[in-house]
Amino acid sequence: MNVPLLDLVGQYVAIKDEVLPALQAVIESQQFIMGPSIAQLEAKLAELSHARYGVGCASGTDALLLPLKALNLKPGDEVITTPFTFFATAGAIHNAGGTPVFVDIDPRSYNVDPVAVEAAITPRTRAIVPVHLYGQMVELERLLAIAQRRGIAIIEDACQAVGARRSIDGVWRMAGELGWVTGYSFFPSKNLGAWGDGGMMVTSDEAAAERLRRLRLHGGAKQYHHDEVGTNSRLDTLQAAVLLAKLPHLAGWSAKRREHAAYYTRAFAGLDAVHPPVIAAGNEHIFHQYTVRVDRRDALQAHLKAQGIGSAVYYPIPLHRQPCFAHLGYAAGSMPHSERAATEVLSLPIYPELTRTQLDYVVDAIRGFYR
């Protein structure tokens, strides 16, 4: 049997009759740049996020870069984030002119530890970029309490967490609802994936939405008038059409992912070498990834590969140890939870189309390895 880490063809076959006509409509209109699908998708993503405005852009990377640029960072301005994330989170901070300040994670959720965030704040701190890693939200209410009283902006990296939510004081709060600006990625492997690159920012701050709309269009609200220097970071209309066709399926896909995750977690009970993901109190996880912490991780991964099972390590090198950030001076051992997670985590197949037989095959292969 073959169980790839991700099977986008399975999803394509299931929904192509809905997506292909939507694409064809764009092609027949020949409105490829800023066509009507963009505004429709922006409204829908804002609604899903309980935010007022959506601003499409070219990628999840730009969905972080543009709000960071909107902060007008000066040399030496600091932005606190996690080292246990995809590179883009910290790359965007650097490219916006800020200095990434890394703080360690909570070893259970893999999300940034609010206590460590507070300890890292200095007079130069301008923003915090928490990442809702693997699809579960960070303890945002604690970060908000830290940030708001100091006038520090929170930019949520929700690239892995579209539709994730967290109960705060008894109220469901969506990813994208409480941060100043939130970035989403529509990279094809994401829970809501386009057929190419794409991203979106959501915010409830009208002035921020206007600024972000300008920044994605060379800094001009009006054609050929440039109030500031922006860039070309438009969302492709064809991609917006794909995403609009996929969006009605998202809640069902997330439910399926949760079902698969619960099945795995039950199946791994009693296996001391395998630690299933911990869902933090109050969170509804969307399981962009189902990531276990295991003994002898690399040997297990090789064993799974030999049995035709895909898996991946997100992420093998924490960002504070990347050569490009060596100048920041973080020593080995300075972020022990992130560094340990990097040697122990393994993400397993979790896409909605997985069958019970495939799930059992993965479970049996893992149980077999530790027998």
Ligand X SMILES: Cc1ncc(COP(=O)(O)O)c(C=O)c1O
**DSSP code per residue over 256-310:** HHHHHHHHHHHHTTT-TTEEPPP--TTEE---S-EEEEETTHHHHHHHHHHTTB-
Rounded distance between C-alpha atoms, residue 58 and residue 10, angstroms: 25
Closest residue to ligand X, judged by C-beta, is 60
Please, which residues have CB within 8 angstroms of residue 98's CB and are 6 or more apart in sequence?
Answer: 68, 71, 73, 77, 78, 79, 126, 127
Task: Kindly state whether residue 347 participates in binding ligand X, applying the rule CB under 6 A.
Answer: no
Task: Kindly state whether residue 304 participates in binding ligand X, applying the rule CB under 6 A.
Answer: no
Instruction: Mark the segment that binds ligand X (CB under 6 A) among 31-39, 84-92, 100-108, 233-241.
Output: 84-92
Specify the residue, 185 or 204, whose C-beta has the smaller distance to ligand X.
Answer: 185
Among 26, 37, 38, 86, binds ligand X (CB under 6 A): 86
Task: Kindly state whether residue 157 participates in binding ligand X, applying the rule CB under 6 A.
Answer: yes
Task: Kindly state whether residue 59 participates in binding ligand X, applying the rule CB under 6 A.
Answer: yes
Specify the residue, 165 or 359, whose C-beta has the smaller distance to ligand X.
Answer: 165
Name the pairing type of β-strands 181-185 and 153-157.
parallel
Q: Is 367 exposed, middle or buried (0-12, 13-18, 19+ CB in 10 A)?
A: middle
Task: Kindly state whether residue 345 participates in binding ligand X, applying the rule CB under 6 A.
Answer: no
Specify the residue, 201 or 365, whose C-beta has the smaller distance to ligand X.
Answer: 201
Helices 237-246 and 8-29: angle between axes, nearest 10 degrees: 130
Instruction: Mark the segment that binds ligand X (CB under 6 A) among 57-65, 96-104, 121-129, 356-364.
Output: 57-65
- Please state the closest distance from residue 86 (CB atom) to ligand X, in A: 4
Specify the residue, 59 or 358, whose C-beta has the smaller distance to ligand X.
Answer: 59
Q: Which residues pair with 201 in a beta bridge?
A: 55, 183
Specify the residue, 48 or 192, whose C-beta has the smaller distance to ligand X.
Answer: 192
Token pair 């962009």 is found at: 288
Task: Kindly state whether residue 159 participates in binding ligand X, applying the rule CB under 6 A.
Answer: yes
Rounded distance between C-alpha atoms, residue 217 and residue 370, angstroms: 54
Within 125-144, the residues that bind ligand X by CB under 6 A are 131
Instruction: Mark the segment that binds ligand X (CB under 6 A) among 23-31, 156-164, 276-284, 362-370.
Output: 156-164
| Exposure string for 142-151, b = 16+ CB within 10 A, e = fewer | bbbebbeeee
Task: Kindly state whether residue 88 participates in binding ligand X, applying the rule CB under 6 A.
Answer: yes
Specify the residue, 41 or 274, whose C-beta has the smaller distance to ligand X.
Answer: 41
Q: Which of 154, 266, 272, 195 is nearest to 19 (CA)?
A: 195
Contact 169, 133 (CB under 8 A): no
Task: Kindly state whether residue 163 participates in binding ligand X, applying the rule CB under 6 A.
Answer: no
Task: Kindly state whether residue 237 participates in binding ligand X, applying the rule CB under 6 A.
Answer: no
Q: Tell me the number of residues near ligand X by CB under 6 A.
A: 15
Token pair 């996929």 is found at: 246
Among 11, 37, 81, 85, binds ligand X (CB under 6 A): 85
Other Cβ atoms less than 10 A from the Cβ of 299: the count is: 11
Task: Show the binding pattern over residues 182-221: x = contacts ligand X (CB under 6 A), - = does not.
Answer: ---x-x---------x-x----------------------
Q: Is 89 exposed, middle or buried (0-12, 13-18, 19+ CB in 10 A)?
A: buried
- Please state the closest distance from residue 187 (CB atom) to ligand X, in A: 4
Contact 111, 141 (CB under 8 A): no
Among 11, 89, 109, 338, binds ligand X (CB under 6 A): 89
- Please state the closest distance from residue 356 (CB atom) to ligand X, in A: 28
| Binding stretches for ligand X (CB under 6 A) | 59-61, 85-86, 88-89, 131, 157, 159-160, 185, 187, 197, 199
